[in-house]
Amino acid sequence: MFEAIRTFVENHITGGSDGIRDLVILFFIAICALGMYYVTRALLRLIERIVLRTPTSWDDDLFNSRFLGAVSQLSPALVVKWMLPGFFGGDYGWLGSATSIYIVGAVVWILIVFIQNVYNGISHRPSLRAYAVKGVFQMVQLVLICVAVVYSVSIMVGKSPVAILTALGASAAVLMLVFKDTILGLVASVQLTANKMIQRGDWIVCEKHDADGEVVDISLTTVKVRNWDNSITTIPPYVLISESFRNYEPMRFSGGRRVCRSILIDANSVGFCSSAQLEGLREQGWLHGIGIEEAARVVNLQLLRRYLEYWLMHDSRVNSDMMVMARQMPPTPQGLPLQLYFFCREVRWKQFEAVQSDIFDHIYAVIGLFGLRIFQSPAGADFAKTTDHDSNR
């Protein structure tokens, strides 16, 4: 077929030189390649419609319009690569090399788009989102690009890819320095994925790098954390492997968010309750399980601790299946710390703070009924009252 077309051109273009005949043949090859491109596009559009009608969603992610468009870019180059030897034998010079390089680039681009589609499909599915695989996919894409570059250089210089790699081996130390962060990032991404240490959407705290917020992206070389003040902190992935960080995500699924807060009690107010105070506590039902006679022999701070534990255990907002404790901490110059340790069922930040505030509002209100006072350092207004009192005297 190729010989017949070339003979037809030579017979009908008799007044021109060989260069003109070659240009006519190249124009014919270009027309064939362009026609193949449009034929391929039409077939791929048909495939895209079939894919969109299937009940599964994976094929929609993998064989989307971007991937099919990349495939359509390959068909014209294959036509040129097939027709050049038929018309020109083995002597087609730089045009053949350019076509081969284009084919290599088109194939690598198809693979890169396919890999990106696989990652997008994983990131869209909650069951697979826990795996931090973006760095692995980026590394595979980088390897494909490096292979394409080496193969293209070998085509340009007429050497085998092995010879090119051998020449690059002498500069391996320099390449290691250039790609140090990339290599470390790949290793860290594999470890983060295998151990399920972090995923997008996790709340992490890395104090050394001033990161306290939600992970928004995990790539080959960076982990981006949107802090609660809406600033972005960028951390290399290998830092999360070599150094410690805190991940609050398991707390969201544990059914309880911890409250650990102390109230400073004035030590001078600790003592035994009066009969009137005990009667008032009994009427309120705050001496559960304790008789008046027993309560009269118990210090008011102990009564408060027992009441708070009982009240928290029976509060629906507190997870009673977890630790609930009211304990006395070592005394300080600022007072006697009474620590409340329990877990709220509400783990969302705003709702959690509201529940915690409501609980401590109640605690502040009932402390005085037990004959106790909250320690508070005197302010300027307190000194002013003292001064006014002395001047009135």
pLDDT digits (tens, 9 = 90+) for 141-174: 878 888 888 888 887 777 777 776 666 665 666 6
What single letter denotes the amino acid at residue 51?
V
Question: Residue 243 above 80 pLDDT?
Answer: yes
Which residue, chain included where needed, has tokens 């070339």? Answer: 6
Q: Which CATH class is domain 256-370?
A: alpha beta
What element of type H or E holds 326? strand 325-328
CB neighbours of residue 381 within 10 Å: 8
11 vs 364, which has greater pLDDT?
A: 364
For residues 6 and 389, what is the distance between their CA atoms, to the nearest angstrom?
119
Three-class SS state of 135:
helix
Tokens of 36: 């193949």
Scored b (16 or more CB within 10 A) or e, 239-252 reads: bbbeeebebebeee
Q: Which of 188-192, 239-243, 371-375 has the lowest mean pLDDT?
A: 188-192
| Residue-wise pLDDT tens digits, 294-332 | 778 888 898 899 899 999 998 999 998 899 999 999 999
For residues 198 and 214, what is the distance between their CA atoms, to the nearest angstrom?
11
Mean pLDDT of 216-244: 86
Residue intervals in the chain for CATH 3.30.70: 256-370
Residue intervals in the chain for CATH 2.30.30.60: 158-254
For residues 104 and 98, what is the distance between their CA atoms, to the nearest angstrom?
10
CATH 2.30.30.60 fits 158-254, yes or no: yes
